[in-house]
Amino acid sequence: MPRLFGTDGVRGLANREVTAELALSLAQAAAHVLGDGPRSEGRRPVAVLARDPRISGEFISAAVAAGLAGSGVDVFDAGVIPTPAAAFLIADIRADFGVMISASHNPAPDNGIKIFAAGGRKLPDETEDRIQAAMAEPPLAPVGAEVGRITRFADAEDRYVVHLIESLPHRLEGLTVVLDCANGAAAGVSPEAFHLAGAEVVPIGNDPDGMNINDGVGSTHLEHLAAEVLRTGADAGIAHDGDADRCLAVDAHGNVLDGDRIMAILAKAMHARGALREDTLVTTVMSNIGLHRAMREAGISVLQTRVGDRYVLEELGARDLSLGGEQSGHVIMADHATTGDGLLTGLHLLAEVARSGRTLADLAAEVTIYPQVLVNVRDVDRHRADDEVVLAAVAAAEARLGDSGRVLLRPSGTEPVVRVMVEAAELADAESVAEGLVAVVRDRLALPPAS
């Protein structure tokens, strides 16, 4: 049987791939695997359940709740809240695990099921594999008083907002912010949190109807946020995705700040107040060379991981570090969250604007983002990306760019694709170097014609 779990839970087209039957079976298996510890202690397992506002989330969460309760798990149903809020609540009430129903930045017809371990942490691969294997076993079947209860988690949002406000090193009085909530899970809680932090809030994308999540709004459609910031004269704009684990920003001039610039601002602020453990930031290999240069000038080290926020999380945990993330806006502030949190990130970003008295544009200008060219070379043998001629071409390209650029070849994990990424001080140089490397990869790694 192919692996059910992807890089971020189980995801697919709702009611075709992610069905009520699948949700029920997955919940029963999770109850079996993740509830063993509590049952061995003589107590009933407890789980937090939450979802984003997609229509399909209603039947999927109902199936998950039934599967959990029918397996003897007490369920605290938090309703529509962000993914990072669900993760926080699992830790806050010391639940044994939790389930979030969301497909993040995907369009409304998709949905997904994310399972968190105790403490609100992502599951390791081996635990996901155990849950998948348990789906083929008979489910637990308690009866009478042994079945679980389903309780509305009435103060879920309040607990999360209090946590966010208490984490802030500085309040946001004097700032006006446009919040694009992606018609998603943050539509209610994000404007409240920024308002309580002291900002004047102009919300957009905050009217979810179950089908308009991520539809022309949110972190994948920043043009509307930029236009609203310019129209209102706001100090900044913050964009979430559908489940609000991501944050991108726009300055007062309508310029976009990606995750690299956001991380740089946060890292320098934390470094200045002694909150950046080991004076180290964790990023993936896709972070821009401009971030590396800015961090080096600030006396901050950068550790790199594979692409994916789960690998950033692993590195943060293994080394007990406090900040990491991705260009995409998944930023993990490990002292306050166990996953990317778009609200937490946005609040702390604007807290530094308020504290410093500088504009967001001024803070962002301390990172020079180098032009980046990324080419997906298709129909090549990704397993031979270490071909000696290819490696020699990469070495020659690196020598040509010197300290003013960077080259990265990254084979796809699933497709016959090798990704060629080049950064340089000038776009023309990046394009020229990338063109040469692409030609070598195509020539040396071409797949034989189909017979």
Active site residues: 104
Q: Which residue has the tokens 């006006």?
A: 176
Q: At what angle do helices 342-356 and 83-92 cross, to 10 degrees?
A: 90
User: Residue 155: how many CB atoms within 10 A of its CB?
Assistant: 11
Instruction: Give CA separation, 277 vs 120, 280, 296, in Å.
Output: 22, 6, 16
Q: At what angle do helices 83-92 and 156-167 cross, to 10 degrees?
A: 90
User: Does the annotation place 104 within a ligand binding site?
Assistant: yes
CA distance 5 to 306: 18
User: Does the annotation place 279 within a ligand binding site?
Assistant: no
CA distance 185 to 406: 38
Question: In 306-434, where do the E strands start and end?
Answer: 323-325, 331-333, 372-378, 405-411, 417-424
Q: Are 148 and 32 in contact (CB under 8 A)?
A: no
CA angle 36, 39, 44 (to 5 degrees): 120
CA distance 174 to 182: 25
Q: Are 284 and 308 in contact (CB under 8 A)?
A: yes
CA distance 424 to 398: 10
Structure tokens at 2: 């192919």
Structure tokens at 159: 């607990």
Structure tokens at 290: 């401009």
What count of residues does the chain have?
451
CA distance 48 to 27: 12
Buried b (16+ CB within 10 A) or exposed e, 221-242: bbebbbebbeeeebbbbbbbbb
Instruction: Give CA separation, 182 vs 79, 256, 284, 345, in Å.
Output: 17, 16, 25, 16
CA distance 339 to 330: 8
CA distance 181 to 343: 10
Beta-bridge partner residues of 248: 239
Name the helix (H) or strand (E) containing 182: none
CA distance 140 to 275: 46
User: Does the annotation place 241 within a ligand binding site?
Assistant: yes
In the annotated binding site for Mg(2+), the residues are 104, 241, 243, 245
